Amino acid sequence: MSVDPRLAALSINHKTVDGWSMPELVDGVAAAGLQAIGTWREPVAEYGLDRAAKLVRDAGLRVTSHCRGGFLTATDPAARAAAIEDNRRAIDETATLGAPTLVIVAGGLPDGSRDLVGARERVADALAELAPYAGERGVRLALEALHPMYVADRAVISTLGQALDLAEPFPVEQVGVVVDTFHVWWDPEVWRSIDRAGDRIASFQVCDFLMPIPADVLLARGYMGDGVIDFPPFVAAVEAAGWRGEVEVEIFNADVWAEPKAQVVETVKQRYLAVVVPG
Amino acid sequence: MSVDPRLAALSINHKTVDGWSMPELVDGVAAAGLQAIGTWREPVAEYGLDRAAKLVRDAGLRVTSHCRGGFLTATDPAARAAAIEDNRRAIDETATLGAPTLVIVAGGLPDGSRDLVGARERVADALAELAPYAGERGVRLALEALHPMYVADRAVISTLGQALDLAEPFPVEQVGVVVDTFHVWWDPEVWRSIDRAGDRIASFQVCDFLMPIPADVLLARGYMGDGVIDFPPFVAAVEAAGWRGEVEVEIFNADVWAEPKAQVVETVKQRYLAVVVPG
């Protein structure tokens, strides 16, 4: 099979083909002529961590990111300790999979809380506990700013600039940031923030932002080209900032999930070439 | 009727009691012992501009803001010229109503466009045409940052900081900003931005942000206390920045709109006292 050389940088996040087992993911991505995947904890655990690591390694694939750690905003001491411990396990998994990066989704407001400032401070405190642990295992925590519509229930990190504020107290090899077009495209400061990010960029993810926003706002992601994002300026910006890693495609979308998975991978390849890195 | 003196600062935006005619709004607000309203163009036009101005004046009410101008992102020259002309009419109306402030909602991406940077530049260009016209009539344009979930279809101004960047080239009496808790509460830079805003603050609006976000994302607003926003820090911040004007309550919510209007006004009063300016 002849493969466009631009596809060497394309990574398929497991969520895009949600429902595939680990072997189906690895086989499907390799069969499509691709070289990289983003993994999620649950399917890795289901298949077995060591088996999953061997499966990926034997197939010659790279794991670009492991999803996900975080949810670090609890006020209850026991819940907080459990979250820290769970993140240590996620860091261990990331190292075993040979992935450089664990994606961190900060977590939202605790139930009934309106203290957004406090929740953000607790994320910073938790990072101080986790960053050295990650660094010792050769794993970088990648702080993901999520679109502000998810601030209350999912991630109190809302902009790339805020993610950088949280990352910069730590060594660059311990804490970086995710640039996910879906989450940051609206931000008037995004170009300045990407430039500022430089070698803090630990993951570059793409998918489109669909309009109108569907009833389940978690599923507003779509194939590149189906929404309102102009992708090439983002590719140019992260490259100008020094990013030489993969472009990972992560799509949460009920219609995409209903399609045959191999067809989803083909559509992602076509859209990546036509819309993300055209010409 | 004995009225809590804190209510002197409470203004009822017409949208909160959508469905009331202008006389019903004026009578209902006065009957509730309140002194201020925010008006909308359509009901004012329906009742007649000069009649509406007289109605408000005779009732001794203040108009804190007139809603709304803007929608300044068109690329088509004819559509753009029509938008500028329509904004001049909105400025004239604002002056006739004796309101200090015309709220400006920037507008979203033109149909089929993905050029967010260009849309934002066109807003800045349009302001340069409108600001002197407003200033000559004693009207201040109040740029409203809308929550980033509305950037594609409604307002390419997404943060208070961006609104200030757009406002600051103009004299402070010509272009200010709206601080609307619903739209800005998530922003990690909001405290710095409110402080920076200072006497650029031209309108302070409150309503709560409901979770989960309803299927129609335009209707995610609720009574103060029903959502996730902590209001007193916002009151303190705008006061520290120098704001001495009203607190306008603007709620878009299908359930609220289905209630008897006088009851809505009572609930707003109670929630304002209990949740926004407690103690």
**Residue A109's closest chain B neighbor by CA?**
B228
Contact B230 A109 (CB under 8 A): no
Question: Which chain B residues touch A117 with a CB distance below 8 Å?
Answer: 233
Q: Measured between CB atoms, does A109 come within 8 Å of chain B?
A: yes
**Residue B229's closest chain A neighbor by CA?**
A114
Question: Which chain B residues touch A120 with a CB distance below 8 Å?
Answer: 188
Question: Which chain B residues touch A158 with a CB distance below 8 Å?
Answer: 186-188
CATH number at residue A54: 3.20.20.150
pLDDT category, A278, cuts 50, 70, 90? very high
Distance CA B67, CA B142 (A): 10
**Contact criterion met (CB below 8 Å) for A48 and A73:** no
pLDDT of A72 higher than 60: yes
Q: What is the pLDDT of residue A42?
A: 98
Contact B230 A165 (CB under 8 A): no
A249: left (phi over 0), alpha (psi -120 to 50) or beta: beta
DSSP bridge partners of A204: A179
Q: What is the pLDDT of residue B279?
A: 82
Question: How many CB pairs lie under 8 A apart between chains A and B?
Answer: 77
pLDDT category, A239, cuts 50, 70, 90? very high
Q: Measured between CB atoms, does A153 come within 8 Å of chain B?
A: yes
pLDDT category, A250, cuts 50, 70, 90? very high
Condensed to tens digits (0 to 9), the pLDDT of residues A177-193 reads: 999 999 999 999 999 99
Q: What percent of chain A has pLDDT over 70?
A: 99
Contact A230 B116 (CB under 8 A): yes
Condensed to tens digits (0 to 9), the pLDDT of residues B59-114 reads: 999 999 999 999 999 999 999 999 999 999 999 999 999 999 999 999 999 999 99
Contact B115 A230 (CB under 8 A): yes
Question: What are the DSSP calls for chain B, one per residue?
Answer: ----GGGGGEEEEGGGGBTB-HHHHHHHHHHTT--EEEEEHHHHHHH-HHHHHHHHHHTT-EEEEEEEEE-----SHHHHHHHHHHHHHHHHHHHHTT-SEEEEE-B-PPTT---HHHHHHHHHHHHHHHHHHHHHTT-EEEEEPPPGGGTTTTBS--SHHHHHHHHTTS-TTTEEEEEEHHHHTT-TTHHHHHHHHGGGEEEEEE-EE-SSPPSSGGG-EE-TTSSS---HHHHHHHHHTT--S-EEE----HHHHHS-HHHHHHHHHHHIIIIIS--
Q: How close B162 comes to chain A (CA, Å)? A: 7
Give SS3 for A211: coil
Dihedral sign computed on CA atoms, order B274, B159, B216, B79: positive
Residue B185 belongs to what domain range?
5-276
The mean per-residue pLDDT over the stretch A239-263 comes to: 97
Strands B208-209 and B201-206: unpaired
Question: Which chain B residues touch A161 with a CB distance below 8 Å?
Answer: 188-189
Distance CA A181, CA A185 (A): 5
Q: What is the pLDDT of residue A1?
A: 55
Q: What is the pLDDT of residue B1?
A: 55
**Contact criterion met (CB below 8 Å) for B11 and B248:** yes
Q: Measured between CB atoms, does A112 come within 8 Å of chain B?
A: no
Q: Measured between CB atoms, does B109 come within 8 Å of chain A?
A: yes
Q: What is the pLDDT of residue B267?
A: 98
Give pLDDT < 50 ranges for chain B: none
The mean per-residue pLDDT over the stretch A160-187 comes to: 98
**Contact criterion met (CB below 8 Å) for A63 and A49:** no
What's the total number of domains in chain B?
1
Contact A159 B116 (CB under 8 A): no
Contact A148 B151 (CB under 8 A): no
Contacts of A75 (CB under 8 A, 6+ apart): A110, A113, A118, A122
Condensed to tens digits (0 to 9), the pLDDT of residues A76-118 reads: 999 999 999 999 999 999 999 999 999 999 999 999 999 999 9
Q: Which amino acid is at B148?
A: P
Q: What percent of chain B has pLDDT over 70?
A: 99
Distance CA B172, CA B63 (A): 20
Phi, psi dihedral angles at A144 (to 5 degrees): -105, 120
Q: What is the ipTM of this complex?
A: 0.96
pLDDT category, A37, cuts 50, 70, 90? very high
Q: Measured between CB atoms, does B111 come within 8 Å of chain A?
A: no
Dihedral sign computed on CA atoms, order B187, A152, B265, B70: positive
Question: Which chain A residues touch B149 with a CB distance below 8 Å?
Answer: 147-149, 213, 217
pLDDT category, A225, cuts 50, 70, 90? very high
Q: Measured between CB atoms, does B112 come within 8 Å of chain A?
A: no
Which of A116, A188, A215 faces B162 most closely, judged by CB atoms?
A188
Strands B175-180 and B10-13: unpaired
Eight-class DSSP state of A276: I
